[in-house]
Structure 1
Amino acid sequence: MKKYTLLFLVLLSISGYAQNTINNYKYVIVPEKYSFLKQTDQYKLNTLTKALLQDKGFTAYFDNSDLPNEIANNKCGALTVDVLEKNSMFSTNLTIVLKDCYGKTVLESKQGKSREKEFAVSYNLALRDAFTSISDTPYSYQAAADAQNKPAVATTTTASAPASATTTSVPVSANVPVQSAPVSSGLPATASAAVPAGTVAAANAQPAANATKSAVAAESKLAPGTLYAQPTSTGYQLIDTAPKIILSLYKTSVENYFIAGNGTANGIVFKKGDNWVFEYYNNGQLESQKLLIKF
C-alpha cells in the first residue's frame, strides 16, 4: 500500500511540473538591464525582448514600471525573462530563459548566434535568432491555469463567488498588432495609430489611471512590416523580424533626412508629417514607399 501511495505522489508531482508551461501565464516581467551588459537597455536589447514577447501574445512590463494589480499583488502570476550570453571570440551567442516566481525554468530558447562585428547589430540579431525557437512554441493563454498561480489570500475577497469567478477580473490581452506613434519608453512602434474599436471602448470604461496603462500597452503592439533601426557608425540599418537587413541609412546634416540604399535601389529616407518615406528612382520613375520604422 505504501508503494502505491509513493508512486501516486511521484506521478502527481511530475504532472504538476509538466503543467507549468508558458500557457499558464499572461504576463512577463522584463528587466531594464541584463547582467552581461553595462548600461540600462543597452543596444535596445531589453526593449527588443519586450517587443518580441508582445508579438508572441504575452503582456510584458519592465520591472521598473507600474504593474497591474494582477501581478503587483501576486508575482507568481507572471514569468520573468532573462537573457544569458556565452562568450565567444567570433560570434555573439544569446539564450532566452523564462522563469517562474520560484526561479524554475519554464522555457529556454535555443542559442541564438550572430557573427556581425558591430555590437548593436550582433546582439539584436542573436536575440532574434534565439527567439525563433520561442516563436515556434505554441502559446495560448489559459486563464484557469493562471488562477492556480494566485495565492489563497487573493481569493478571499470573492469567497461567495464560484471558483472560476476569480479569473474574470483579469483584463483580456489584445493580440491584434496595433500601429502606434513612437513612445518615450523606446518600445517598437510605427508611424500611425490604429487601435481596434473594442480596445478603445474597454480603455474608456476604466478609471483614468487604468486607461493610461491600457494606452501604453496598446502603443507597444507592433504593426506587420515594422523595421527596427539598429545604430551603425554612419547611421542605421533597418532590420525586419527574419532577421534581415532591408535598408541602410546614412546620416546627413539635415534632421530626419537620410541617404538610403539596399543594393538595388538608392535614394533618400525622410520624415513626412508623422510618416517615414523612402523615395528612389526606378527606371526613370520616382517611386515613393512608406516605411514603418522603430528607432
Structure 2
Amino acid sequence: MKLMTLLLAMTFAITARSQTTINNYKYVLVPERFDIFKTENQYGINILTKSLLEGIGFEAYMTDDALPADIANNKCNALKADLIEKKKFLATGITLVLKDCQGNIVYKSEEGKSREKEWQAAYMEAVRNAFVSLNNAKYKYDSTAAPITASIAPAPTATTATTAATAPVLTAATPATLAENKDVLYAQANANGYQLIDTSPKKIMTLLKTSQPDNFIADDGVAKGIVFRKNGEWFFEYYKDDKLVSQKLNIKF
C-alpha cells in the first residue's frame, strides 16, 4: 500500500512538472557570461539574447542587474537562459535552453545555424536563428499559472518583508538617478566595448562599440540607447514614453 502511494506521488510530481511551460513564467535571467564563451558578453551575445527575449514578450534581466522584488525574493519565479554550442565543420550551431531554478529544462529551441566565417557574425546569426522556433511557440504569459516551484516557496519572513519594503533603494542605478549622480563612472574594456562601474564597484552600464569611436550602443538594464561624446562631454540618450531623454555622464576611460 505504501509502495502504491509512493508511486502515485511520483507520478503526480512528474505530471505537474511536464505541464510547466514557458507561459508560466514572466521573467528570464540572462547571465553576464555564457559557459561557451570566455568573457562577459562576448561578441555582444548576452545583450542580444536579452533583447530577443524581450522582443518575444519576456521581462529579461542580466543577473547583475537590480532585480524586481518578484525575482529578488524568489529566483524560482524566473527562468534562466543558456546557450549550447554544437561543434560543426564550417558552421556554427547554437541552441537556446530555458531552465527553471532547479535546473530542469522548460524549453529547448531548435538549433540555430550559421555558415558565416567571422565569429561575431556567426554567433549572432546562429542565436537569431535559434530564436525562430521560440518565436513560433507563441509565448504569452499566463498570470494565473505560477511556476510549480513558486507554490512551495517559504512564506515571506520579517526579513523578506523588510527587503521588499526597501527594494526602491536598489534602483539607484536607474537612468533618472544617473542623471543626478555626478560620481565618476570608470570604463573597463572588454571584447566588445566597455562596462561602466562606479566606486562600489558595481556595474552601471554596458557599452558596445560601433563604427564610430565616440559612439556606443548602451544598456543600463532599464533603458537602451546610445552613449556619445559631444564637446568633450559624454551623454546617454534613449526614448521613454516616446520622448527623447538626454543624460550627462561623467566617464573616465
- TM-score normalised by the chain length of structure 1: 0.52
Question: Which residue in 1 is equivalent to 2:135?
Answer: 135
Deviations 1:78-128 (A, max 9, x none): 000000111123001101100000001000011110001111111000001
Q: Which residue in the other structure is 2:60 paired with? A: 60
> Do the aligned partners of 1:25 and 1:142 also contact (CA within 8 Å) in 2?
yes
2:83 counterpart letter in structure 1: V
Aligned-pair Cα RMSD in Å: 3.7
> Is the aligned partner of 1:42 residue 2:42?
yes
Deviations 1:6-64, CA, capped at 9 Å, x for gaps: 66435422320122111111110001111221221111100110001001110000011
Q: Which has the larger radius of gyration?
A: 1
In structure 2, do the counterparts of structure 1 residues 214 and 20 end up closer, same or farther at CA, with 3 Å as the change threshold? farther
Task: Look up the SS of the partner of 1:46 in the other structure.
Answer: helix
1:25 corresponds to which residue? 25
The answer for the alignment partner of 1:225 in structure 2 is none
Aligned to 2:155: 154
Q: Percent identity?
A: 44
AA at the equivalent of 1:153: P
What is the one-letter code of the residue matched to 2:89?
M
Contact 2:17–2:148 (Cα < 8 Å) also in 1: no
Give the AA of the match of 2:100.
D
Which stretches in structure 2 are left out of the alignment for 5+ residues? 159-166, 178-191, 193-209, 216-236, 239-253
CA displacement, residues 180-209 of structure 1 (integer Å, 9 cap, x when unaligned) = xxxxxxxxxxxxxxxxxxxxxxxxxx9686
Partner of 1:74: 74
What amino acid is the match of 1:145? Answer: A
Alignment of 1:113-262 (within 5 A): 113-146=113-146, 148-150=148-150, 151-154=152-155
| SS, match of residue 82 in structure 2 | strand
Structure 1 residues 55 and 45, CA gap change in structure 2 (3 angstroms): same
Asked if 1 retains the 8 angstrom alpha-carbon contact of 2:66 and 2:170, the reply is no
Structure 2 distance, partners of 1:124, 1:48, is 8
What residue in structure 1 maps to residue 96 of structure 2?
96
Contact 1:26/1:146 (CA < 8 Å) preserved in 2? no
Q: State how far apart, in whole Å, the 2-side matches of 1:207 and 1:2 are.
A: 50
Deviation, 1:138, is 2.5
Q: Please report the TM-score for the alignment, with normalisation by the length of structure 2.
A: 0.60
Q: Compared with structure 1, are the counterparts of its residues 66 and 251 closer, same or farther at alpha carbon in structure 2 (3 Å cutoff)? A: closer
Contact 1:29–1:61 (CA under 8 A) maintained in structure 2: yes
